[in-house]
């Protein structure tokens, strides 16, 4: 558990503030400000913070969807900015993401089978038969029947769609799975089943999770360590099981005071 798989070093993202007046000069602000953080192989690291604290911006920088203003990301000690094209493609394959709204990330006109097979086609993995078998296997692993390959996203429930989104993220066997508010849109009972599924998949696929949520109950249930973000700045990182034993910064105390029983398991 002590091997670092991913490291953020002084990661910063500045954006321009929207102008409120016509001739106002452009001002920038830090969506993410000087964040340094290590992610250990096999752990579930939570990133918690209120809306607008920079969680998704961190996820997008890790996914190479947003370029950092400054700072570096290291994957297994390799600097991302120094990787060649092949290295970048490898990186993208090994880090996948599940967003809050699977409906938005699944193509509404394509069958589940098509969506799950596409990444294997793009990366030329296996024969056609092996790809079809891999799709059926991943459906089974996320608890959906094989017949769902013929279904379209709108024929599925929210929880089932999130299972498909998880399957799509795992089909290329990544090392790291980012889950950005991945259960926030679901009913509590469905949330629990998806969280349990993610825990099972962690063992099955040897996954490292970066689990982003504003929901402290979910974070405490799911994560080994928790990083607290406020206004783009990292406040502290602590072991979940030591929550009661450690001294916390004022913001963390305030955040966790709003949870009725912080250690309640779902
Ligand atoms: N593309 C963008 N352009 C300008 N501001 C942005 C952009 N993306 C995010 N922001 C701003 O950056 C801040 C952090 O956003 P985000 O990372 O989405 O927070 P969170 O995921 O914690 O809710 C917010 O103030 C948001 O409005
Ligand atoms: Mg977000």
Q: What is the pLDDT of residue 246?
A: 81
User: In this predicted model, what pLDDT tens digit does every residue of 69-105 receive, in sequence order?
Assistant: 999 999 998 999 999 999 998 888 999 999 887 667 7
Q: C-alpha distances in angstroms, 212 versus 13, 90, 246? A: 18, 23, 22
Q: Would you say residue 266 has pLDDT above 50?
A: no
Mean pLDDT of 222-238: 95
Q: Which protein residues touch ligand 1 with a CB less than 6 Å away?
A: 15, 31, 49, 51-57
Instruction: Output the pLDDT for position 263.
Output: 47
> Looking at ligand 1, which atom is closest to the CA of residue 53?
22
pLDDT bracket for residue 209 (50, 70, 90) = very high
pLDDT digits (tens, 9 = 90+) for 3-41: 999 999 999 999 998 877 777 777 899 999 999 999 999
Cα–chain-centroid distance for residue 40?
A: 15
- Distance (angstroms) between ligand 2 centre and the Cα of 231 equals 13
Cα(51) to centroid(ligand 2), Å: 7
Q: Residue 33: name the closest of 60, 51, 6, 11 by CA.
A: 11
């Amino acid at each position: 558990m002590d091997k670092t798989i991913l490291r953020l070093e002084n990661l910063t993202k500045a954006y321009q503030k929207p102008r409120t007046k016509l001739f106002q000069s452009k001002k920038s602000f830090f969506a993410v400000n000087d964040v340094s953080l290590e992610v250990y192989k096999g752990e579930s690291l939570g990133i918690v913070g209120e809306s607008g604290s920079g969680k998704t911006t961190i996820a997008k920088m890790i996914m190479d969807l947003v370029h950092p203003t400054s700072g570096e990301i290291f994957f297994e000690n390799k600097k991302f900015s120094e990787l060649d094209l092949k290295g970048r493609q490898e990186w993208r394959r090994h880090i996948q993401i599940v967003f809050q709204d699977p409906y938005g990330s699944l193509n509404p006109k394509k069958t589940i089978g098509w969506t799950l097979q596409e990444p294997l086609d793009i990366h030329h993995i296996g024969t056609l038969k092996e790809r079809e078998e891999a799709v059926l296997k991943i459906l089974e692993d996320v608890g959906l029947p094989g017949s769902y390959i013929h279904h379209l996203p709108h024929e599925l429930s929210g929880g089932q769609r999130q299972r498909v989104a998880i399957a799509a993220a795992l089909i290329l066997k990544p090392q790291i799975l980012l889950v950005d508010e991945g259960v926030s849109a679901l009913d509590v009972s469905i949330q629990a089943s998806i969280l349990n599924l993610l825990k099972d998949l962690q063992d099955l696929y040897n996954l490292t999770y970066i689990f982003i949520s504003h929901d402290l109950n979910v974070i405490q249930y799911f994560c080994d360590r928790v990083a607290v973000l406020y206004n783009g700045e990292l406040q502290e990182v602590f072991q979940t099981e030591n929550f009661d034993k450690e001294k916390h910064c004022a913001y963390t105390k305030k955040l966790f005071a709003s949870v009725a029983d912080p250690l309640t398991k779902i």
